[in-house]
Amino acid sequence: MAYRWQFTLICLITCVTVGAATLSFTWLQQQMLAESGETISIMAAEIAAKIDLLQNERAGDIQILSEAVAMSGGTSAARQHIVHAFHQAYPLYLWIGVTDATGRITEATNPATLGFDIHTNDWFRAAQYGGGASYIGDIAYDEVTNGLEAVSFTAPIVDRRTDTTKRPFRGVVSTRVAAARLEQLVTDAIQLFQKRTSFFHTVEYQVVRDDGTAFIDSDVRRTGNANLAASGLPSIRYAQSGESGFVEEEHLQRRVPVLTGYARTHGQKEVDGPKWTVLLRVERSEVIAPVQRFLWTVGAAGLLIIGPLIGLLVRATGRAQAEWQEAQDERMHSRENERRLRTILEVEPEGVLVAGADRRVLQVNPAGCALFDAGFPEEIVGRDIADFVHEDDRGRYKEAHAMALQRRSVLCKGRFTGLLGQLRWFEMTAVPLPGEGGTKLSVLSVIRDITEQKKAERRQALQHAVTKVLAQASTVKQALPDLLRVIAAGLE
């Protein structure tokens, strides 16, 4: 009877375990989807911001170019020189051209477009009647780019040194940025994000106009063939709010569940430019695949191990339960200590880092990242701290590190250069940090930025030296050589 009860208990435990595993799998899957959705949403927002930056920079370029042409003296040779010099400086432009007041192209980087009459084109008319404002055209096929899709940036030729009421319309300056350049920006951003985070091996992308047609698409067969707004795609509808986010939806062509991150460009405040929607898609199955593989592995291993051990489990239930509880308590205690230590390190205002015997960084807290001008710990982890230390102080730092490995507490001062090239003074306290089993030592260092303190000390020393020279000299003329020497020494 007792064995039957134990067997029933084991079956109950098995059922509960399976149920808990199922719930855990569901919860873990939802967490993975939510975190992946946030990640892909951030990717979409970063790409939209890069597109906005490109538009802003190109709008600034066209303003500068229009003023340069306006102040060139009006000769065709001078204008042609400006156009070609600008194109050499900014080769990303597909085409640069200048028109006269009638809309005829007079200077251009592509000689084949000289003489084109474009007075009826939207970009010319927008600059002509825009009251001196620049114009950014939506992506479109353009005759001046031999039928390639491009974004137009146009500004009237205006000499801003004259009064606004006395500025006659003298023509426009216009540039083109190819859609291929925008797509390269999108793919580079995705590849950089994948390299930085190791997320998502396959990402589909689309950049969509306001009318719902995609002019950039990772699948070139779909470009411009479907109206995503008319299809009722949720991501397009949500993106109209202007906020970035993500949504689970069905792929229009393959009819599989996907996670779609969306973001919308905002354009320039001063220029009414096109606003596009950036869409990034990852298959739902790719997101949850790691969780499924993990659970299948754990499940298979569990079946192979638990089956043969059922008999032993019946005999040793009490002892195994006690050992399990003890292990759980120890594990929870260890995790709690680890969480507490991590919290302390994260809120610690001074830079804290752990380096191995080879001086390479193993761990660093946020304050330490900021000290080295790093945005992420990965930028510092694995690097030799001595590489950052000024060469005149490097030997002193290495000696302090070696002494800490000999289980001694060491105080060291010196200079180091961050990732952005800024030179700082630091004060470092290094202590030995035992590893597992107390055998493998590492070094725990607390680093404080004392640059301002050093500057204050130098100013005080300089003031003292100047006061001493003035006190010892009878006249200013007599003190002048010593004053110059003291000041020069203080500036070294």
Contact 149, 140 (CB under 8 A): yes
Contact 380, 372 (CB under 8 A): yes
Cα distance between residue 219 and residue 200, in whole Å: 17
Helical spans, DSSP H, in 378-428: 391-405
Return the SS3 of 25: helix
The 10s digit of each residue's pLDDT in 439-477 is: 678 888 888 888 888 888 777 776 776 677 666 766 666
Alpha-carbon distances of 296 from 65, 303, 308, 309, 310, rounded to whole Å: 62, 11, 19, 20, 21
DSSP character at residue 139: S
Say which CATH architecture domain 33-299 belongs to.
Answer: 2-Layer Sandwich (3.30)
pTM of the model: 0.57
Closest CA to 387 of 355, 435, 434: 355
CB neighbours of residue 429 within 10 Å: 16
pLDDT of residue 313: 64
Cα distance between residue 327 and residue 315, in whole Å: 20
CATH for 342-449, options being 3.40.50.20, 3.30.450.20, 3.30.1220.10, 3.90.1150.10:
3.30.450.20
Closest CA to 424 of 359, 351, 349, 372: 372
Cα distance between residue 244 and residue 268, in whole Å: 18
- Quick check: 195 pLDDT over 90? no
The 10s digit of each residue's pLDDT in 350-407 is: 888 888 889 898 888 888 888 888 888 888 899 998 899 989 889 988 998 989 888 8
